[in-house]
Structure 1
């Protein structure tokens, strides 16, 4: 399935990118406050390389370690993080859908043909190590030694932006990796040994925190900084709650995840990360988090979130610090979202077979709007698809607007979408509005926090009982004439 080598750690991925001319080392001083954000976004918007800042500075002092940014700044690099070329991502999406819901096996030949699926399941089992490079050295409990960015001018302070936060529910054992959650949550630095963990209520880390809170016990937490690409992408993927991100990373990596026991908390952590932060979240200890610039392009409001008190910091002998910037698209999360869009399509089609394509426009914050292409066969089908999508995955409950189009409309082409809406949609008949539905509380347009409306637009050709008028015929040229035109104009029009 993989066409690229296994990337066992961040450094292997960086070496691969550098060999391909896709990594730039910057030796000039760059300030961690705001200036680094400008450099990262400028590189991303030009499709630029991974950036390694060798002279990151804070208050005029050079940072103790290099900073890596723009890791997944292009779709090709996101695919590479999965071990794939970009054109191999759709097939990998089919593979993941089969892994999630395998069809019944029909005989030995069929079983042998599915060896890649069986092999992937075996690769999902992590390998426990006794020693790990992530624990080569112990550091003082001082987060000022880590070159954490302050991304935007209105931000409250330094913000860890690529943390892989490792948690497990109360009542579980440290060795029960299948019950772990790996999530990428914002982590605000508020002291040498304290972080605020901003996990939203529907995320796995928050669910685990509630279980420890009910028991009235402190919760062990670990944060892996600079994890390998498969671990990073597994933590960012919207996986089902029953799927362990740590185990799933083995499927993405093409090799079993390597883990090691943390030094001061009862957790197993990624063995090949650059830095590991360990600590505890005590019951009812919160602090006001924010404001920080968010993926919507606005600063979020200040709210209380749990505080993590560090008990240990370990790292490699010469650690790298991985960072990113979140803001109005395009940003790194929106680029990752483009590739995840392709991966998600086969899973969606398994539940809603008439869906033939799907686009989540990055400019609409990657999930606030969806354009769905369907193979329409009966009246009311577009509305059924809208309702099915809103109810299928938790992530789509935050999709404010769905536009449904026919197969002859390119769902990634705004001109096609506009034409379909202008010629196939009647506002009084084809617009569906829902009220009081779940919404990301960062959506400031919502009249009530956490609740908002949904808009469904049926921009498909109307058939059967949907209309009493004869529908117009779409104009099209003879393909042979179009081919002849291309031949005649070859060399005339460039």
Structure 2
């Protein structure tokens, strides 16, 4: 089903009971975030705030806040249908030859190469602000979290052209509103927008930019998708492929760029590469931690175009699970056939919400020879944005990659610390606050597949020679009263499958390593395979919370090591005395005042108690 614009999708959601209206006044400063966060974490409906203080325009949020709504937005019954849709275009066997394989790649490229359709009149240009009329404060841009540096556009479709080739790009880069006609432009070093700006600088000219807000939800998704570098394939083409029709665009009123004709708002302007960059941030990011202030380019808005009665769509990112987890899952399904085309032994893969995309990738394989898990993991590191993956866990084909607890049980069964773990280095997401360097750090591969004789080796211990290595049912965890006490340990918990989870109040350098040595030597550690040391704000009885903290707070080369018979993970904060020179960011939490306000007004909003 095609949606000509965002509001048609919203009408369908409302008809299905998947969108609720809130008519009472609500603040765009934190209050909407607190309400929306509760709804998405409990799988509640999308929300339309019709009365936003300080703005004449309503705010829609959570439109893609469940797996089912994302599937509906993309016109499929289930997200797995995305993989089937792509798989129907390619023969994974390659027709029995390399030539056949290449012909199918061409067929896929041609099927997805649907150029946008230019129109001369567009709803998004019914109202135009130019020059001094531009006032971004009139648009209900949200301040999402208490420490944010200001309001941020969180669903921006940022459009640029390569100054040399005119090749289009659309990406979702957050946009901080700095004053009435200036924003930040969060182009990270690996992003296409950065490359376009660098080319403009060499040519000595400004880079024109358009920021679309709203439009067909398929285009909003496409802006988040990690597209492969196929000539002629861009975000408009992907949206066209998903819809089976060319996407309508219109030329901007002050920029020579094509913008979505059915968007709600478009900000037009430029970035001057000769200009000093501005301090952008902090921002409560998708990692669940704040991204600290840094320097980024300024975007100067020369015009704002919009519909006569526009709706401002927004999302929030932060501590998982969040709305972006379902967009990530859509990308997993869409690009699974392409990954299998390149690495045929891949059965399935998944990026769990606790890993906030790049921090954890679980991949199941059809294993036929020793060392295959490492071959697959290293191949994944070479696939586009998968280069940012921090931890890759490889399991056998029969293991369900979406069953988080089953995956980690398989790790204790099949992966012996040191023997079946491999640390390497490579590019890291620049939003990662724990890496050894900005955008560069350690990576970890865990081979949790069934081992072949060649992979065990003659030097293996008698424990390692066992086929299952460690069966969870053979380990009985100690009760809390039986666990040892150590300095700084606020809470601890052992699981039946061999994990020791610890919340540590870290106050001195080297404390985590000393703790790991003491734990490994204690009788209570017998049968333990992994010691997970998290920070003092972690709930050790919540496996998702522990792994979310650990995966955010480690550089695998520095913070994961073999300690006796177990693998120690130091997910506590790093101190300057330990050589960590950057500031350690705080976890995102809402202010108690806003939490209390929303609690008190929940019945006033008219929202069901079940979502509270």
State the TM-score bracket (shorter-chain normalisation): 0.7 to 0.9
User: Does the CA contact (< 8 Å) of 2:413 and 2:469 recur in 1?
Assistant: no
Change (3 A) 1:119 1:429: closer
Aligned to 1:84: 76
Aligned to 1:209: 197
Q: Which SS does the other structure have where 1:387 is aligned?
A: helix
Q: Which SS does the other structure have where 2:283 is aligned?
A: coil
Q: Which residue of 144, 149, 152 corresponds with 1:151?
A: 144
User: Does the CA contact (< 8 Å) of 1:228 and 1:272 recur in 2?
Assistant: yes
Change (3 A) 1:304 1:119: closer
Q: Which SS does the other structure have where 2:273 is aligned?
A: strand
Aligned to 1:487: none
Q: Which residue of 405, 408, 418 corresponds with 2:398?
A: 408
**Total equivalences in the alignment:** 450
Q: Which SS does the other structure have where 2:374 is aligned?
A: helix
Q: State yes or no: 1:464 paired with 2:453.
A: yes
Change (3 A) 1:101 1:449: farther
Q: Which residue of 314, 328, 353 corresponds with 1:337?
A: 328
C-alpha distance in structure 2 between counterparts of 1:101 and 1:156, whole Å: 49
Aligned to 2:221: 233
Q: Which SS does the other structure have where 1:410 is aligned?
A: coil
CA offset digits 1:317-358 (Å, max 9, x no partner)? 111111111112111112211222222222211111111111
Aligned to 1:483: none
User: Does the CA contact (< 8 Å) of 2:413 and 2:468 recur in 1?
Assistant: no
5 Å-filtered alignment, 1:310-459, equals 310-393=301-384, 395-435=385-425, 437-459=426-448
Q: CA deviation at 1:208?
A: 1.1
C-alpha distance in structure 1 between counterparts of 2:469 and 2:315, whole Å: 49
Q: CA deviation at 1:396?
A: 1.3
Aligned to 1:93: 83
Q: State yes or no: 1:141 paired with 2:134.
A: yes
Aligned to 2:509: none
C-alpha distance in structure 2 between counterparts of 1:50 and 1:241, whole Å: 34
C-alpha distance in structure 1 between counterparts of 2:368 and 2:315, whole Å: 45
With normalisation by structure 2, the TM-score equals 0.70
Q: CA deviation at 1:405?
A: 1.0
User: Does the CA contact (< 8 Å) of 1:134 and 1:274 recur in 2?
Assistant: yes
Q: Which residue of 237, 240, 251 corresponds with 2:241?
A: 251
Q: Which residue of 92, 115, 118 corresponds with 1:128?
A: 118
Aligned to 1:74: 66
Aligned to 1:182: 170
C-alpha distance in structure 2 between counterparts of 1:361 and 1:153, whole Å: 27
C-alpha distance in structure 2 between counterparts of 1:168 and 1:200, whole Å: 17
Q: Which SS does the other structure have where 2:334 is aligned?
A: helix
Q: Which structure has the higher relative contact order (CA within 8 Å, separation 6+)?
A: 1
Q: CA deviation at 1:378?
A: 0.7
Q: Which SS does the other structure have where 2:362 is aligned?
A: strand
C-alpha distance in structure 2 between counterparts of 1:474 and 1:287, whole Å: 54
Q: State yes or no: 1:272 paired with 2:272.
A: no
Change (3 A) 1:170 1:465: same
Change (3 A) 1:277 1:470: closer
User: Does the CA contact (< 8 Å) of 2:219 and 2:236 recur in 1?
Assistant: yes
Q: State yes or no: 1:302 paired with 2:293.
A: yes
Which structure 1 residue ranges, 4+ long, deviate > 6 Å from structure 2?
100-106, 117-120
CA offset digits 1:407-458 (Å, max 9, x no partner)? 23222223322332222121121110113x1111221221222111011111
> Which 5+ residue runs of structure 1 have no aligned equivalent?
174-178, 476-494
Q: State yes or no: 1:263 paired with 2:253.
A: yes
Q: Which residue of 49, 56, 67 corresponds with 2:52?
A: 56
Q: State yes or no: 1:7 paired with 2:13.
A: no
User: Does the CA contact (< 8 Å) of 1:13 and 1:81 recur in 2?
Assistant: yes
C-alpha distance in structure 1 between counterparts of 2:95 and 2:366, whole Å: 29
User: Does the CA contact (< 8 Å) of 1:123 and 1:254 recur in 2?
Assistant: no
Change (3 A) 1:136 1:299: same
Aligned to 1:19: 15
User: Does the CA contact (< 8 Å) of 1:441 and 1:450 recur in 2?
Assistant: yes
CA RMSD of aligned residues (A): 2.4
User: Does the CA contact (< 8 Å) of 1:8 and 1:253 recur in 2?
Assistant: no
